[in-house]
Chains A and B, each alone.
Chain A
Amino acid sequence: DQQVKQNSPSLSVQEGRISILNCDYTNSMFDYFLWYKKYPAEGPTFLISISSIKDKNEDGRFTVFLNKSAKHLSLHIVPSQPGDSAVYFCAASEGSGAQKLVFGQGTRLTINP
């Protein structure tokens, strides 16, 4: 049973445009959501997070939106840059402290010049 789903395995966006990556979850006990970026042969790099008590969090070019009623979150990157090409993982946590992160399958984002 996949509790966190990223239904788009890949996404291609032109440089300078907006990239929108989507994530759905099924476990209503999740209360914190994170986005990670991963390059090949490297560990995931933390990008941005959002608590379930908020519906938006912004950090520079990255904005995460959370729709709790739809159990859906999205990551917006604007403007997209070639260095943004990577695999993006959505992750969710149930509770704080030393907790398990449940990851989605990832979306490979390619930014075309």
Chain B
Amino acid sequence: DTEVTQTPKHLVMGMTNKKSLKCEQHMGHRAMYWYKQKAKKPPELMFVYSYEKLSINESVPSRFSPECPNSSLLNLHLHALQPEDSALYLCASSQGTSDSYEQYFGPGTRLTVT
């Protein structure tokens, strides 16, 4: 089973709203990732968690706040977003060990900021 689930599938929010994106995996993976993908562009890394600790932050604005409550769950808290933040937000996971490279992606959350 290589399934990563994400909720919600679609989200529309105003610039003053606070919302959260959720991601879950039950593959025993110890690394989890948030990527952002704009239309006709490749996915761009935002954050990496390794063994529940934030290990990479790709200079993401503070209006995006990641959280890893446990090894199976990853959240992305959103606050005071801008219309240009509208995109597909992808979660991924990987084993996180020294012999692992493959990342497995969820279906994404389509976010629209109005």
Residues of chain A whose beta carbon lies under 8 Å from any beta carbon of chain B: 32, 34, 36, 41-46, 49, 89, 93, 96-101, 103-106
Contact = CB atoms under 8 A, between A and B. Distances in A.
Given A43-B4, A105-B42, A98 B108 contact: no
Most buried by B among A49, A98, A103, A104: A98
Contacts of B4: 43
Given A42-B108, A45-B105, A98 B42 contact: no
B100 A96 contact: yes
Contact of B48 (A34, A36, A44, A100): A100
B104 A46 contact: yes
B89 to A, nearest CB: 10
Nearest to A48: B102
